Amino acid sequence: MSLRLKFNLILIATTVVGLLAAGLVSWQILQRDARATVQRSAEMLLGGALSVRKYTVDEIRPLLRQLDSAEFLPQTVPAYAASQVIHNLQRNYPEYSYKEAALNPTNPANRAADWEADIIEWFRSHPDDKELSGERATATGSALYISRPIRITNPKCLTCHGDPAAAPAAMKARYGTTNGFGWKLNEVIGAQVVSVPQTVQEAAAWRQFLVFMGSLLAIFLVVGLVLNILLYRFVTRPVALIAERAEAISTGSGSVEELDIGGNDEIGSLARSFNRMQRSLNNAVKLLNESMQ
Ligand code: HEC
């Protein structure tokens, strides 16, 4: 096996091992970052919805109460405000969603889908848990969801969600008396569920991975090429030249020229030693020839 072949086999083997290791580590880092980004945007969305709820309770509701309207104004309801704001947001980000899903909702649009109902049931049977998150498949790819239980801790909620007889007439006129009543104090009646797509981040992570691995491969290829040129220039070519001369001398061609290999490296010193040996050999042969005449 030639020196160049051996060298290249080792180079290829180390390159493959290096690429695999770098690929594995970078893929894990990129995946972790992508998940963290998705998680952050889900938390942001949930935080946004909670802020709208708080703003409605703190600032809008007191103002609207002053209107003393005969009609029920859903704008005073934090659940309504949050879902309207997110609804507007969804025009530009359709895959992002926030829902105050309830098993028995006042507004039928808030009725829990099957997977949301499972989450609510889970919170009902795990009263100590404050948050549940996970991944789920949607029509547009996988999505991350974060959910928090909605527990009735304030007896005032039951004015509108307890006994229908006690509920404001204007509200009943708008929403009817069949839905969204009969909630109990300390009962988990629903869950806030945000869902954000993972596909965008996953695609970005995949793109970054390909660019990183592609550049790494290009660097390895350039280094391999340069090493091959250096190997040829400084090792294999001079060694082949020395071997060729040694072969010529050993077959008795006395008039072989001296090697012209400079440099202070090991090959240069081998060439100088070789030239010296050739001179000594020539002298010895000359002496032998003279003594024989
Ligand atoms: C003034 C009456 C009123 C009070 C008080 C009230 N709500 Fe509501 N709530 C409503 C109405 C009306 C809706 C439906 C809004 C809509 O159209 O989306 C609603 C919707 C909700 C929803 C969304 C699910 C559904 O039923 O459509 C949740 C969750 C909710 N309310 C929880 C609460 C909690 C918790 C409290 C107490 C802190 C509370 N509500 C107090 C009237 C009220």
Q: How does pLDDT run across 9-31, given as a tens digit for each residue?
A: 999 999 999 999 999 999 999 99
Which residue's CA is minimally distant from atom 1 of ligand 1?
Answer: 160
pTM for the full model?
0.78
Q: What is the DSSP letter of 126?
A: -
Residue finishing a domain among 205, 233, 256: 205
Q: How many alpha carbons lie under 13 Å from residue 256 in its C-beta half-sphere?
A: 24
| Residues with a CB atom less than 6 Å from ligand 1 | 74, 77, 79-80, 83, 100, 102, 105-107, 110, 150, 152, 154, 156-157, 159-161, 168, 171, 175, 180, 190
Q: Which of 152, 160, 187 is the pocket-test mutation for ligand 1 (most atoms within 8 Å of CB)?
A: 160
In order of 16, 200, 273, the CA distances from 213 in angstroms are: 12, 20, 47
Give me the CATH number covering residue 272: 1.10.8.500
Residue finishing a domain among 156, 189, 205: 205
| 120, 184: one domain | yes
Structural tokens at position 236: 């294999």
Q: Which of 53, 68, 77, 123 is the pocket-test mutation for ligand 1 (most atoms within 8 Å of CB)?
A: 77
For residue 101, which atom of ligand 1 is closest to its CA? Answer: 24
Plot region of 176 (φ>0 → left; ψ -120 to 50 → alpha; else → beta): left
| 187, 86: one domain | yes
In the block, tokens 């209107």 appear at 67
For residue 171, which atom of ligand 1 is closest to its CA? Answer: 12
The arithmetic mean of pLDDT across residues 260-287, rounded, is 88
| 182, 269: one domain | no
**Burial zone of 239 (CB within 10 Å; 0-12 exposed, 13-18 middle, 19+ buried):** middle
Please tell me the distance between residue 106's alpha carbon and the centre of ligand 1 in angstroms.
Answer: 7
pLDDT at 70: 81
Which residue's CA is minimally distant from atom 3 of ligand 1?
Answer: 160
For residue 151, which atom of ligand 1 is closest to its CA? Answer: 35
Long-range pairs, 178-182, Cβ under 8 A, ≥24: 179/104, 179/105, 179/106, 179/107, 179/108, 180/102, 180/104, 180/105, 180/106, 180/107, 181/104, 182/104
pLDDT at 143: 94
| 94, 124: one domain | yes
CA–CA separation, 64 and 96 (whole Å): 30
| 11, 140: one domain | yes
Q: Could you tell me the residue range of the domain that residue 176 belongs to?
A: 3-205
Q: What is the DSSP letter of 235?
A: I
**Which is it for the CA torsion 98, 103, 105, 111, positive or negative?**
positive
CA–CA separation, 126 and 144 (whole Å): 21
Overall number of domains in the chain: 2
| 92, 174: one domain | yes
Minimum mean pLDDT range among 43-57, 105-119, 143-157, 249-263 = 249-263
| 217, 198: one domain | no
Query: What's the whole-number average pLDDT of the chain?
Result: 92
3-state secondary structure of 195: strand
| 147, 219: one domain | no
Which residue's CA is minimally distant from atom 13 of ligand 1?
Answer: 106
CA–CA separation, 256 and 55 (whole Å): 98
* Sheet (strand 188-197) strand order: 97-102, 188-197, 141-151, 132-138
What digits encode the pLDDT tens for the residues 132-185?
Answer: 999 999 888 899 999 999 999 999 899 899 999 989 899 999 999 999 999 999
For residue 105, which atom of ligand 1 is closest to its CA? Answer: 26
Q: What is the DSSP letter of 128?
A: T
3-state secondary structure of 173: helix
